[in-house]
Structure 1
Amino acid sequence: MAAMIRPRTDNDLPALAKVLVEVHAVDGYPVEGVDDPLAWLDLPNAIGVWTAELGGAPVGHVALTEPGPGDDAARLLTEQSGPEPMAVLGRLFVAPAARGQGLAEQLVNTAMCASAEIQRQLVLDVMVKDRAAFRLYERLGWRTIGEITHQYGANNVEGALALAAPRPREICAH
């Protein structure tokens, strides 16, 4: 069964919300947002949002957003190399039953190419505990630009790494 990566539609949201709850039960990702998964997937600052579809069902998700005041990866990269147009990759997940088919990599590559098309440097943060995600980004050429602390909920903190994608010219041929 072939997978398809396509722009996410509002019709995908109920299925993706269920997938998100499954992913959280298996991986502890995300550390926040599963109490209201539809709200977590609602991204008013989205530049682009995609879903992986397998057998006609949404099984994965990724988003590009405008950097906001709390985006430590964007702040760190600006401190290191000066201001430049950026986008933040986030909300990446794949249903546990659909893993092992390269869907996460396809989703990340889609987002990387989209950021290249709009000439934005892509950044993200990944929790230290999410080792498989870090290995994926590392394999795709992302580089660590710093360590940060992600605060969530009342008094919860998680160690995280800020990453920057390879320069757009290195990832997508036009």
Structure 2
Amino acid sequence: MASEKQIKANRENAKRSTGPKSLAGRLKSSRNAKSHGLSIPLAADPPTVTQAYKLVEVMTPEGASPSQKVAAVEMAQAQTQLLRVAAVRRALLAELDLESPSLEQVRRLVAIERYECRAHRRRRRAIGRLRGTEAMDDGVEGASAILVKRTQFDRTCETIG
């Protein structure tokens, strides 16, 4: 447990640690996470929402259960995020100096990689849930419907991306 002296010091430090006070400092800090736009939720980007809805329509089989619909939405969101990551990566690579990339360019590419890995994991989990839930809900017939929908989904992703 912290001593009284330490608690008092922590409280004094907390009073001084309130972030930037000037307007310029606040504006600068408000843009910290917006360098590439990948941290912005999909719902805040209308064209991306439209893409995701198109993918959900393609992925959801007729008479899908609620759990299948949720998994299809999660998969479409992850796929849409992967498309966003690919677009940002293309833009970064277009401006990259291949002979002597700057440290900042390398850092940005590494950050993009993290977003891509996260989206791949989300998509894999959603696919697993989609396969698992449809097997419990519909049996073999549902499995074949999902395979057909998966093929349509892949084609749609190719045309959108």
Scaled by the length of structure 1, the TM-score of the pair is: 0.28
Q: Highest Rg: 1 or 2? A: 2
Scaled by the length of structure 2, the TM-score of the pair is: 0.29
Highest RCO, 1 vs 2 (Cα 8 Å, sep ≥ 6): 2
